[in-house]
Chain A
Amino acid sequence: MKTMPALAAVNDFVVKFANVNGSGSASANELFARSILRMGVPVSPRNIFPSNIQGLPTWYEVRVTEKGYLGRRGGVDMMVAMNPQTWAQDVKEIEPGGYLFYDSTKPMPSSMFRDDINVIGVPLTAITNATYTDARQRQLFKNIIYLGALSVLLDIDPEEIKRLFGEQYKGKEKLLDSNAKALALGRDWTSQHLDPDSVKLTVRRANAVGNRIFVEGNNAAALGAVYGGATVCAWYPITPSSSLAEAFQTHCKRLRHDKETGKAKYAIVQAEDELASIGIVIGAGWNGSRAFTSTSGPGISLMTEFIGLAYFAEVPAVIVNVQRGGPSTGMPTRTQQSDLLSCAYASNGDTKHVLLFPEDPKECFDFAAQAFDLADRLQTPIFVMTDLDIGMNHRLCQPFQWDENRVFDRGKVMTAEELEAGKTFGRYLDVDGDGIPFRTYPGTHPTKGSYFTRGTTKDEYAKYSEEGPVYVRNMERLQKKFDTARRIAPQPVRYSSPKATRFGVIYFGSTSPAMAEALDHLEADGHHVNALRVRAFPFAQAVEDFIHEHDRVFVVEQNRDGQLRSMLMNEFTLDARKLVPVLHYDGTPITARFIAADIAKKLGQFKVVSFEKAAS
């Protein structure tokens, strides 16, 4: 076979593993990523998996990036092709000059390969079968053997992998030894039979990770819920959010049992459906506990009626929506940002809800914890809008932090003492001008402060009323409360181009790492763009100011309809032409290449005439 000019890179390449799900490849692939991370080189891995348990194709893509670009780059420099089902597609995806690593036990016709890539064959099955007799062992250790081979080819320090084995199999020395043995098998064969320079992609020890942590967003959000004081969690299994509730359970088992009695300072209910999940959350919130549910798009659809109740009756609730591809069942294991509209305006009638948009696991932790303060303060549902890309992938991020002096903000709750002292209580009475009334917990006082909570209209004292003026007053107070939310929710983060520019870009959530990289690319190509990362709805005043500051503002989103753009149009008075959609919604995470290319193309169209001129 002809050898092509080989792609050469140090600490800057993409390796993709093509596997069959259920074959045990996930843990070997994760070891691959972690060992590079331990060498001080940032990695960004992504699971690309089917809605299936066993037998269907699954991929694991690892971006090795000393520069710390954690978004998906696009393109594959080395394909570890372990799945015959997807062979053709996998081979096609490799960049020219890239590498195909495969199991060469059975000879394959040259038509199965490409002329413009480098092919690395290791007889994995032959090595495995010669060593192991048990079928499951053969399957599992084959993964470790390819890990060993790759460590030789890419210069990954095997000691780091062994240390990881040691951590993983602490107290299970037998497993540790057998894994180390499999690793050595792969390394030995490769060293003896292949030229170590046949792959010019190299991992070189660096110091680019710092004290960052490597964690999944769902795990981080669950920990945020523990720190934020959640005591009730009700949920219904749904991909990609199930691991969030399960992580909450795991954290609570460690962190939330009374040391003396062993009893639980939390309650978790796996409900019969999402309607019951949110009902339980609302019941607990009404009764003064911090409660949350985690779900995904279809779950939100089911919860909608209850969300309207919580909005109108003003009951705190936290809903973590780990978004996936919609509509309907959609793409359960693919990522999207396509539930913005369905969450922001969930329920019948005039409703608006507070949404938070974390960019990474660190903000999943922060916003999950903060959501409980906001829910209590605003007495309304708070949505934490993550997605599969953040939720189910390990992401390098800043370590979690907690201010030791921080106490929960339980909001406006009138106490028995205040009631006894004669303080006026009107459940829906705006006493402070911020639209937020006082509430009482059930059971507070023998004769004062009880009221009836309902989804029907009521007056300031919670008395049922269908009077027009009473209804309007209440709706306007709710609007005022929403304005309060605008001030206290997380504010946007601005990144300014070094040069003055008429162009801006607005983005949010998991687009963040790809956007940061795209901005660098654009800047390097002489395209100057200011950027604003929106972190909450209702939008802060700074968002409107940013739009007015620029002639054109690109709105980058992972959905078809430009949902954030629609919300900006809905909330502000704007010329629609000013907001230019940049949309990626095929279910894969958005890439820097896509963003930079699309913006550069559109900039080319706009640079001729400025917006003011065009509009005049």
Chain B
Amino acid sequence: MPQVTFIEHNGTAHTVDAVIGKSLMEAAVDNSVPGIDADCGGACACATCHVFVTPEWEAKTGDRTEAEIAMLNFAAEVKPNSRLSCQITVTAELDGLVVHMPDGQH
């Protein structure tokens, strides 16, 4: 099972098992990682599972969808490597993935 690491805004790291085929957001929520609110439950209809993908992983996590860009547009602190973690599907290739979190989800 791939392992992924979520790093909170305060630096606390959470390495968890992620299920292939489920979303990165679900890996956080299923393992009670704080800081991923995921209010809409994965419908790409809010922006509360916002993460920053570390540069070396950007190619493997893919491109943002149009709907994702529309929602990220309203997040508080958007960077070029911002993603909604509900839109990243876990694959074997993502074993070792590291993402950072903003200091709040809106």
Chains A and B bind each other = no
Q: Which residues of A contact B (CB under 8 A)?
A: none
